[in-house]
Every structure is written in C-alpha cells, then in structure tokens.
Chain A
Amino acid sequence: DVVLTQTPPTLSATIGQSVSISCRSSQSLLHSNGNTYLNWLLQRPGQPPQLLIYLVSRLESGVPNRFSGSGSGTDFTLKISGVEAEDLGVYYCVQSTHAPFTFGSGTKLEIK
C-alpha cells in the first residue's frame, strides 16, 4: 500500500498567519491517465471530514481561496494563506491513484 507521510503532526498558528502542511508519498501518485489523485480533507472537531482540494490543486466548491495545494509526483503541500479561527481541526492528505486509497496520519491545526 502507498504510505503518505504528513508533517508536521501538529501546528499552532495565530489568526492571519500563513502555514503549510507537507504530504510525501512512498511512490509516485501520477496515474497512467495523466492525473494525480492527491486530495486534502479537513476534519473539524466532532464533524465528518470535508473535501478541500482534489487533483493536487483544485479547490472544491465553496472552499475559501486562502486554501491552496501544490506538488507533483511524491511531494505535495497544502498552504493556508491567512489562518482563520474556523480552520482549526485535523488535515489529512489522501491518495486515490493506487488501490487501496490511503490517508496520511493527519496534521492537527491549533489556533493560538
């Protein structure tokens, strides 16, 4: 199975600060069809996960544009440009290029 390594495990930020989360894959996530199925989810406390970004950098409908994704191959980054209070929770990267889908271990974002 593909292993996704997320860093850092926890992140503490002030309102307005920009932060980044890294997700590294044990193998390339480039599919034979040319797409890279690397996605980012946010799970707020007590809530189900929600999709933020799919196909590395495409923003899901309704997601604020302070969220952005980048990367290729095995190395990916989620950036939040100007953290807001509602952004607290656990962020997961998840790949759907290779079966089975696999998730990173999560990055907990705390607001100072």
Chain B
Amino acid sequence: EVQLVESGGVLVQPGRSMKLSCAASGFTFSSFPMAWVRQAPTKGLEWVATISTSGGSTYYRDSVKGRFTISRDNAKSTLYLQMDSLRSEDTATYYCTTLLQWWGQGVMVTVSS
C-alpha cells in the first residue's frame, strides 16, 4: 500500500524557519519525481515546488523562490521542504504528492505572531 506521511507542521512566527518531511513507502520512491502542493484555509490548491528523481532539478513557484528549498533522500525514501523567512501568506496545509497520482494526508503550517 502506498503511503505518504508528512510531518513537521506547527505554529511559527513570521520570519522564522520550518522543515517539513514526507516519508514514503509502498513504491519505489527513487523512481518518482515529487512535489509539494499547498492549500490555504478554505482556498484552492497551489503548487509549491517539484524535484526530479535524482534531486538534481528543482522548480519553485515565484512566491517561494529563494525562501523554500525542496530536497529528497532516496536512501531514506523521504522528501523535504525547508521553509525560511516564513510569511503569513504561507499559512496552509502542505501536501506531498508524486506529481498528482498519490497524496499524503497533509500537514498544517501556521505562520502567525
């Protein structure tokens, strides 16, 4: 059974940092490009970042470029999202996904003072 389990979400002050993790199982993690997608409260879905299978290529939405870093550890079957200089508008549920086919349950990130 495919599982994607996110962790790391919490309440954080504006300007601070947070790192999300997504542990994968049930499929060959290293064979799949991965992405983070977020959803602000009561809003729609928004793509955040994508990473290639090797981790050698990464892509970000403009609003997070220079602040967020997507990475992966294929040996640990884990995806990461390092989020720095957080803003209130980053408040959302963050989902990891294998480019749409499989999704985690999501982790809530709240940026507030």
Knowing A48-B104, A51-B101, A60-B101, say if A100 contacts B95 (CB, 8 Å): no
Roughly how many angstroms separate A19 CA and B83 CA in the complex, as a whole number?
Answer: 41
Report if A54 contacts B (CB, 8 A).
yes
Q: Which residue of A lies closest to B95 (CB)?
A: A48
Residue interface mask B85-106, A partner, CB < 8 A = 1? 0000000000101011111111
Q: Main SS of the interface on chain A?
A: strand
Q: Could you tell me which residues of chain A, from 8 to 58, have a CB within 8 Å of some CB in chain B?
A: 39, 41, 43, 48-51, 54
Interface size class of B (residues with CB under 8 A): 10 to 19
In the bound complex, residues from chain B placing their C-beta under 8 Å from that of A104 are 44
Tell whether, in the assembled complex, residue B59 and residue A48 are in contact, meaning their CB atoms are under 8 Å apart.
Answer: no
B35 at the A/B interface (Cβ < 8 Å)? yes
Bound together, the chains give a CA A101 to CA B44 distance in angstroms of 13
CB proximity of B108 to chain A, nearest CB, Å: 12
Residues of A within 8 A of B59 (CB): 99-100
CA distance A105 to B46 in the complex (A): 10
Docked Cα-Cα span, A101 to B46, in Å, equals 8
Q: Lowest 8 CB-CB distances: which A-B pairs, in order?
A: A101-B47, A48-B103, A103-B45, A106-B44, A51-B100, A51-B101, A105-B44, A100-B47
Task: Give B residues with C-beta under 8 Å from A.
Answer: 35, 37, 44-47, 50, 59, 61, 95, 97, 99-106
